[in-house]
Amino acid sequence: MGTNHEHDYALAFLDNQNLQLLHRKILKALSILETSIETARSLRRLLQKVGASCKTQDVINFEGIECYIARLVEHRRILRMLKDRSSETSTLVSIGDAVLYGAIAHTDPAYYHTGI
């Protein structure tokens, strides 16, 4: 602490705000994906019922809907990883800010000036 290293970079309040905005967008996308997955699964169940009640030899091809559900589930998995990563990064940024501002406060003579 207090020394700059080659790979250090400065973080601003705006960086933390942008990270929080990204986190909220990921949560919204996850919510949309959850709804899409449940809708696709409901459609699959409905098609299975319709297919079972048909007396003809027509076969409903579920390959397309199964592929769609699999892609949605994979996107959800990736978004969950991104959500976790953004939460971890936000925690690190918050800890870094607290350490940085604490160090500045304790080394800055103005910090101890009460104005009286």
Convert the pLDDT of each residue in 33-60 to its tens digit.
Answer: 999 999 999 999 998 888 777 765 556 7
Q: How much is the pLDDT for 76?
A: 97
Interval 19-23 mean pLDDT: 90
User: What's the chain's Rg over C-alpha atoms?
Assistant: 26
Burial of 72 from C-beta contacts in 10 A (0-12 / 13-18 / 19+): buried
Q: 103-111 long-range contacts, Cβ below 8 Å, gap at least 24? A: 103/1, 103/2
Interval 83-91 mean pLDDT: 85
Using pLDDT thresholds of 50, 70 and 90, give the confidence band for residue 16.
Answer: confident
Q: How much is the pLDDT for 14?
A: 79
Q: Where are the domains of the chain?
A: 27-108
